Amino acid sequence: MRDTTPLVTEEKNNQHTIRVTNVYKSFGPKSVLNGVNFIIQEGEVTAFLGHNGAGKTTLLRIILGLVDIENGEVSVFGENPFLSGERIRKVCGVLCEDTGLYESLTVYDNLKFFAEIYGCSKKEYEEQIDILLKRFDILETKHQIIKNFSMGMKKKVAIIRTILHNPKIVLMDEPVNSLDPVSILTLHDIIKERKEKYNTTFLITTHNLEEVKKICDKIVIMKKGKNVVEQSLSLDSYLKTNIELLGDIETESVKTIMDQHHLTYTLNDHQLITPETDKQVISEIIRELVYHKISICGVSKEQFDLNKLYLETEEAENE
């Protein structure tokens, strides 16, 4: 019997949208995920980065309940996708690497078919289909059969299919591959609008770091089946503060000050470097250093650099 209880209820709304805890997955002897952990809040746009084979697609399939796991826990709106997969998939929009369209049907018939599966009313989908086809500049293809379309055209139709039913969560596996630059901008605008208007949660796997900088709130970098970095991309996300010191340095005094604030730090060649970036805390540290007669000749914050972080992560020896 079909379970008709709504997946997203008011009391569940304050939970994390997706929680992945210590997930392990192998295909036969090949271990693909080796302890993945992350939390995604409602309305976040998260990019999954990582080299080919890092486990990104497998993770998306696990979140949808399409692949089971050996160890760990996954919850989507507080539910287990392996038990409630059908209900979870109802509130998701999914764009796979393979477009999943029916080649012998027209654009309109493909979109209508999927909209009806997701329970959209005719009035809703008729209007939305035209709006979205127009936005991707393919309205004139509405009644054409998909078979002979270019890959980019198929991708546009598949993107429209993914968002047509206004899903709560959208999972997109490498969405911009084979899209032209104008369509990429259209997709980015749609993602930003849906996040603002409907608090839609987006999970996107991509290799395009410029895209990530433009539209994502957060990145998760996957490496050999582990999430090795989870980092917010908010505009004021600095990585660390460098305080340049002058003259003789009383290292014991520095230690006392930093310990009082429970801060980790390195001190080398007159550079005091700490991961702390809070303005208030930094101003207190400066005051205390001066009080201990340690001269300061400069303070700088290191801005988050996605390209650098990604390359450093990929180059780093595996733990």
Which chain residues interact with Mg ion by CB under 5 A? 56-57
Nearest CB to Mg ion, comparing residues 57 and 206 = 57
Q: Which does 75 bind (CB under 5 to 8 A by kind): ligand ADP, Mg ion, none?
A: none
Nearest CB to Mg ion, comparing residues 57 and 128 = 57
Nearest CB to ligand ADP, comparing residues 46 and 58 = 58
Q: Which does 143 bind (CB under 5 to 8 A by kind): Mg ion, ligand ADP, none?
A: none
Query: Cβ of residue 275: shortest distance to Mg ion, in angstroms?
Result: 32
Query: Cβ of residue 77: shortest distance to Mg ion, in angstroms?
Result: 24
Q: Which does 53 bind (CB under 5 to 8 A by kind): ligand ADP, Mg ion, none?
A: ligand ADP
Give the binding site for ligand ADP (CB under 6 A): 27, 30, 32, 50, 52-58
Nearest CB to ligand ADP, comparing residues 170 and 220 = 220
Nearest CB to Mg ion, comparing residues 94 and 107 = 94
Query: Cβ of residue 51: shortest distance to ligand ADP, in angstroms?
Result: 7
Map the chain to HEC letters.
CCCCCCCCCHHHCCCCCEEEEEEEEEECCEEEEEEEEEEECCCCEEEEECCCCCCHHHHHHHHCCCCCCCEEEEEECCECCCCCHHHHHHCEEEECCCCCCCCCCEHHHHHHHHHHHCCCCHHHHHHHHHHHHHHCCCHHHCCCEHHHCCHHHHHHHHHHHHHCCCCCEEEEECCCCCCCHHHHHHHHHHHHHHHHHHCCEEEEECCCHHHHHHHCCEEEEEECCEEEEEEECCCCCEEEEEEEEECCCCHHHHHHHHHHCCCCCEEECCEEEECCCCHHHHHHHHHHHHHCCCEEEEEEEEECCHHHHHHHHHHCCCC
CA distance 228 to 232: 14
Query: Cβ of residue 61: shortest distance to ligand ADP, in angstroms?
Result: 8
Query: Cβ of residue 54: shortest distance to Mg ion, in angstroms?
Result: 8
Nearest CB to ligand ADP, comparing residues 51 and 142 = 51
Q: Which does 195 bind (CB under 5 to 8 A by kind): ligand ADP, Mg ion, none?
A: none
Query: Cβ of residue 303: shortest distance to ligand ADP, in angstroms?
Result: 28
Q: Which does 27 bind (CB under 5 to 8 A by kind): Mg ion, ligand ADP, none?
A: ligand ADP
